[in-house]
């Protein structure tokens, strides 16, 4: 079958944390961007590109997903990830899974199952069925951070997701392929120091959502993202006729009014790339086909933006 090829588009994020270590964060994001954009140019589907991008970001210990995930209140790592493919409009994901290198792979496998979102015990069963090797995503930096906070009797409500130095955060990828299909993927180690059983937005349509019209991945404080139902809210606005940038502007204005701490990236079916944040920083980078850009040093006051 032949089809009119569309220019692929790509946007990725490494969270909504502090942008200290700007050059290193930019380097990590651009490396992933170039790898995944190359894949899209070679004809990969949006879903394949998103999974590849999430895997690479999960493997980068700088970001709070996969290797380098933050520890929960009991010192354990529990990760969550989801994937949504516009061709099937199917959402799949895992919640609070442990001892696996790439949670996004589980979300991908679940695309083909009738039960598409699994939590801890079920996700562990899936890991076993897939015969994935046992993997410890703990890094020394995350361990020291947790030990320090335990010594101080956990003074912080959460780990270095938003306002502290390390540059960690949820990761996400949104892609438009040359067939005009969209996909979105998001993966996280959670907030850090949360109580056992807390469920992240990253494996909910509030934090990750895609239809044939738009795809969105969110970052920031999960509870704030869930309260705004941010990813689905932006996509619904596009479905109802707003442009992607107008949908971001309206949704982020509401989120700011509600004093939320969050960010989001997205692409629509026309190829528009947009982003927004109420947090201080959004660590995102994009590829339009003609140019690469990022939001890393974007002003703390700006709410939304789009690739020109
Ligand atoms: N947005 C990641 C989390 O709060 O779990």
Q: What tokens were used for 245?
A: 């940038």
pLDDT tens for 177-229 read 999 999 999 999 999 999 999 999 999 999 999 999 999 999 999 999 999 99
In a 3-state reduction of DSSP, which class is residue 125? helix
Q: Where are the domains of the chain?
A: 9-298
For ligand 1, atom 4: residue with the closest CA: 222
Distance CA 273, CA 174 (A): 9
- State yes or no: pLDDT of 10 exceeds 80: yes
Nearest CA to 106 out of 131, 84, 81 is that of: 81
Which range among 3-17, 45-59, 148-162, 291-305 shows the weakest confidence by mean pLDDT?
148-162
- Cβ of residue 211 lying under 6 Å from some atom of ligand 1: no
CATH architecture assigned to 9-298 = 4-Layer Sandwich (3.60)
Among 16, 14, 12, 11, smallest CA distance to 280 is for 16
pLDDT digits (tens, 9 = 90+) for 33-88: 999 999 999 999 999 999 999 999 999 999 999 999 999 999 999 999 999 999 99
Task: Determine contact, residues 217/264, Cβ cutoff 8 Å.
Answer: yes
Q: What is the pTM of this model?
A: 0.94
Residue tagged active-site, from 170, 186, 188, 211: 170
Q: What pLDDT sits at residue 183?
A: 98
- Residue 104 to residues 153, 185, 187, 269, 290, Cα–Cα distance (Å): 33, 8, 7, 23, 28
Does the annotation count 170 as an active-site position? yes
Gap from CA of 306 to ligand 1 centroid (Å): 24
Mutation pick for ligand 1 pocket among 69, 188, 208 (CB with most ligand atoms within 8 Å): 188
Q: Tokens standing for 229? A: 């139902």
Instruction: Determine if ligand 1 sits within 6 Å of the CB of residue 190.
Output: yes
For the Cβ of 208 lying below 6 angstroms from any atom of ligand 1, the answer is: no
Instruction: Give the three-state DSSP class for 141.
Output: helix
Q: What single-letter DSSP state applies at residue 21?
A: S
Judge whether 43 and 178 are in contact, CB under 8 Å: yes
């Amino acid at each position: 079958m032949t089809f009119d090829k569309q220019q692929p588009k790509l946007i990725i994020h490494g969270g909504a944390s502090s942008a200290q270590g700007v050059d290193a964060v930019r380097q990590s994001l651009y490396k992933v961007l170039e790898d995944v954009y190359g894949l899209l140019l070679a004809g990969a589907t949006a879903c394949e590109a998103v999974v590849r991008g999430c895997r690479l970001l999960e493997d980068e210990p700088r970001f709070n997903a996969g290797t380098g995930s933050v520890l929960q209140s009991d010192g354990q790592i529990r990760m969550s990830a989801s994937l949504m493919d516009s061709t099937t409009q199917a959402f799949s994901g895992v919640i609070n899974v442990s001892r696996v290198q790439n949670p996004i792979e589980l979300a991908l496998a679940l695309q083909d199952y009738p039960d598409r979102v699994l939590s801890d015990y079920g996700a562990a069963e899936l890991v076993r069925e897939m015969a994935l090797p046992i993997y410890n995503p703990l890094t020394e930096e995350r361990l020291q951070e947790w030990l320090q906070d335990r010594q101080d009797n956990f003074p912080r409500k959460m780990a270095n997701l938003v306002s502290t130095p390390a540059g960690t955060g949820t990761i996400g990828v949104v892609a438009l392929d040359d067939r005009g299909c969209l996909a979105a993927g998001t993966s996280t180690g959670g907030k850090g120091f949360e109580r056992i059983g807390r469920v992240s937005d990253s494996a909910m349509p509030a934090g990750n959502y895609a239809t044939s019209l738009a795809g969105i991945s969110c970052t920031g404080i999960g509870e704030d993202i869930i309260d705004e139902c941010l990813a689905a809210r932006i996509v619904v606005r596009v479905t109802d006729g707003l442009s992607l940038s107008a949908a971001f502007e309206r949704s982020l204005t509401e989120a700011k009014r509600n004093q939320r701490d969050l960010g989001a990236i997205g692409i629509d079916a026309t190829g528009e790339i947009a982003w927004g944040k109420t947090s201080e920083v959004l660590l995102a980078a994009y590829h339009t086909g003609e140019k690469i850009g990022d939001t890393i040093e974007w002003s703390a006051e700006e709410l939304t933006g789009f690739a020109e």
